[in-house]
Amino acid sequence: MSSRTIGNHRFSMQSCRIYGKQLTNECYEKQEQMKEKCVSGGCQCGALRYKVVGPLGSTDLCHCRMCQKAFGSFGAVLTRVPFANFKWTRGKPATFQSSAHVARGFCASCGTPMFMFEDGDDFIDLATGTLDDPGIVKSLSHQIGIESKVIWFEQLHSLPHQTTAETRNPGDLPRLASFQHPDHDTAHWPPAKT
């Protein structure tokens, strides 16, 4: 497997693809020092990309009315990350000040909710679904804001389970081809037209 040398360490191209070409030497060096991996993520359109060095913190489900509105959903699943370990690697988010001390970040191009940040906190609450691999979060810690929980939330586990292919005609699927940014860092996006 080919490799790339950064500092005095050689990274396999597999590592470079996972950790991304946008990452700085500092990230790799810090990763090497901490013996920990970088985690990447971004918005749906690819205008925003980020990385996290080191382990993710706890993940909670917030049912509060503001998370419902900000995510257009039953609530928000948010993963806590030390702010010092977080960096935007492409673009800057737009923000909405949802209360005196809380800002919510989103992509101004595609609208993806990205994070919640409270003044003075040492951490940022990332929208878990924006991780390139949300499955690295193995479990949730708490449900909070339950005074606003929608009544149908408790029905979710008992609903019929269907794949996309089961709910769409085969002829529909080509029309539904994804324009979404892939779940890894890219040097350029969107790709140049050939």
Under the rule (CB under 5 A), what is the footprint of Zn ion?
43, 45, 47, 62, 64, 67, 107, 109-110, 145
- Helix (H/G/I), strand (E/B), else coil: 58: coil
Identify which of residues 10 and 142 has a Cβ nearer to Zn ion in the complex: 142
Whole-angstrom distance, CA of residue 61 vs CA of residue 142? 6
Taking the complex as a whole, the smallest distance from the CB of residue 29 to Zn ion amounts, in Å, to 29
Cβ-based neighbour number of residue 43 at 10 Å: 26
Whole-angstrom distance, CA of residue 158 vs CA of residue 28? 44
- Name the CA radius of gyration of the chain, rounded: 19
Taking the complex as a whole, the smallest distance from the CB of residue 66 to Zn ion amounts, in Å, to 5
Identify which of residues 23 and 45 has a Cβ nearer to Zn ion in the complex: 45
The pair of structure tokens assigned to 60 is 């909670």
- Look at the chain and count its residues: 194
Taking the complex as a whole, the smallest distance from the CB of residue 154 to Zn ion amounts, in Å, to 18
Taking the complex as a whole, the smallest distance from the CB of residue 118 to Zn ion amounts, in Å, to 11
Identify which of residues 9 and 109 has a Cβ nearer to Zn ion in the complex: 109
The pair of structure tokens assigned to 15 is 């590592």
Identify which of residues 15 and 104 has a Cβ nearer to Zn ion in the complex: 104
